[in-house]
Amino acid sequence: MARVARWSGDVLPLAIAFALLAIVGIATFVLVLRTQEFIAEVTLARDYQRGVTQLLTIMQDAETGQRGYLLTGEERYLTPFEQARAAAPRQLDVVRKGAALYGILASGSVELAALIEGKLDELSSTVALREAGRTDEALAIVRSDVGVSLMEAIRASLGTLQAAAGDVVRERRDALARVTNILLATVIAGLLLSLVLTLLAIMRLRRQLAEVERARTRLASFNSELEREVAARTSSLRTANDEIQRFAYIISHDLRAPLINVMGFTAELESARADLRNLAPEGDPRIVAVLDDIGESLGFITTATRRMDGLIRAILTFSRLGRRVFTPERIDMTALASDVVAAHRHQAQESRATVTVDRLPDLTSDRQALEQVLSGLLDNALKYIDRDRAPVIHLSGHAHRGTARIEVADNGRGIDVKDHARIFELFRRAGAQDRPGEGIGLAHAQLLVRRLGGMVGVASQLGRGTVFTIELPVDWHPQEDLDQ
Partner 1 sequence: MTERSVTILMVEDDPGHARLIEKNIRRAAVNNPIVHFENGGAALQFLWEGDGKDRNAFLLLLDLNLPDMSGVDILRRIKSDPTRRAMPVVVLTTTDDKAEIARCYELGCNVYITKPVNYDSFADAIRQLGLFFSIMHVPEVPAT
Which positions touch partner 1 (CB under 8 A)?
252-253, 256-261, 263-268, 305-306, 309, 316, 320
Name the residue nearer to partner 1 (CB basis): 27 or 269: 269
The span from the CA of 418 to the CA of 459, in Å, is 12
The SS3 assignment for 392 reads strand
Beta bridge partners of 472: 404
Give every strand in the sheet of 465-473, ordered side by side. 354-357, 392-400, 403-410, 465-473, 455-461
Minimum CB separation from partner 1 for residue 332, in Å?
27
Q: Which one, 49 or 319, has the nearer CB to partner 1? A: 319
Residue 395's SS3 state is: strand
User: Which residues have a Cβ under 8 Å from the Cβ of 190 and sit 6 or more positions away?
Assistant: 21, 24, 25, 28
Closest separation in Å from C-beta 304 to partner 1: 11
Would you say 260 or 421 has its CB closer to partner 1? 260
At residue 407, φ and ψ (nearest 5 deg) are -115, 135
Minimum CB–partner distance for residue 265 and partner 1 (Å): 7
C-alpha to C-alpha distance for 434 and 417, rounded to whole angstroms: 19
d(CA 398, CA 405): 5
Tell me the three-class secondary structure of 64-108, residue by residue.
Answer: HHHHHHHHHCCHHHHHHHHHHHHHHHHHHHHHHHHHHHHCCCCCH
Q: What's the gap between Cα 407 and its chain centre?
A: 37
The 10 Å Cβ neighbour count of residue 301 is 16
How far apart are CB 272 and partner 1 at their closest, in Å? 11
Contact present, 89 and 134 (Cβ < 8 Å):
no
Q: Which is nearer to partner 1, 89 or 264 (CB)?
A: 264
Bridge partners of 460, per DSSP, are 466
Q: Closer to partner 1 at the Cβ: 47 or 309?
A: 309
Shortest Å distance, C-beta 270 to partner 1: 9
Considering beta carbons, is residue 106 or 260 the nearer one to partner 1? 260
> Which residue, 66 or 252, has its beta carbon nearer to partner 1?
252
Is the CB of 49 or the CB of 305 nearer to partner 1? Answer: 305
CB-wise, 159 or 258, nearer to partner 1? Answer: 258
Q: Report CA Rg, the chain.
A: 61
In whole angstroms, the minimum distance from the beta carbon of 318 to partner 1 comes to 13
The rounded distance, in Å, linking the Cα atoms of 279 and 121 is 186
C-beta separation of 446 from 434 below 8 A: no
CB 327 within 8 A of CB 366: yes
Distance of alpha carbon 294 from alpha carbon 277, whole angstroms:
12
Distance CA 38, CA 169 (A): 11
Using the minimum distance from each CB to partner 1, give the nearer residue, 42 or 248.
248
Q: How far apart are CA 97 and CA 194, in angstroms?
A: 48
Task: Identify each DSSP E strand in 202-305 by its residue range.
Answer: none
